[in-house]
Amino acid sequence: MRIAVAADELTGVAEALPAALRRRGHELNLHGAYSRAERADWAWASERAARDVGDGRADQAIVACWTGTGASIAANKVRGVRAALCGDAQTAEGARRWNDANVLALSLRLTSQAALEEILEAWFRGSSSREQSDVENVEHVGRIESQPG
């Protein structure tokens, strides 16, 4: 799977994230602090990774900043992106299942190496629900983003 990855600094699990994804067999598009050619700040880095998803250059993305909140907010501004800030495996599993999330946001401050492995396992094991109410909710989110103001 093609995964866009962005972090605003190489601290905490940001250093381990690319290797953890490559061990799982993913092809990476690296942004922000992972690329000397790009601005590393969370808004710019997260936007680049999210645009990879929105434009079809990546299947999913993982974005990270100190709290994960800014990275999630920036990613969610890109059409077609459903970013979820996940601090544990259960949240990651639910985000994939019920929200069909395609961008995982992580906190560099709170995510331990052990939690990272559990979150990634749940995220990539998960798939979107086909239950009618779940599908309708995701479709409604798509309509919300296409409405003016």
Which strand ranges, in their side-by-side order, compose the sheet holding 2-7? 27-32, 2-7, 60-65, 103-107, 83-85
Catalytic, out of 33, 65, 78, 108: 65
The stretches of the chain forming alpha helices (DSSP H) are: 17-23, 42-54, 69-76, 89-99, 113-125, 132-146
Percent helix, strand, coil in the chain (nearest 5)? 45, 15, 35
Q: Is 32 left (phi over 0), alpha (psi -120 to 50) or beta?
A: left
Q: Are 92 and 103 in contact (CB under 8 A)?
A: no
Q: Are 120 and 20 in contact (CB under 8 A)?
A: yes
Nearest Cα neighbor of 42 from 29, 33, 53 is 33
- Asked if 86 is an active-site residue, the reply is no
* Residues catalogued as catalytic: 65
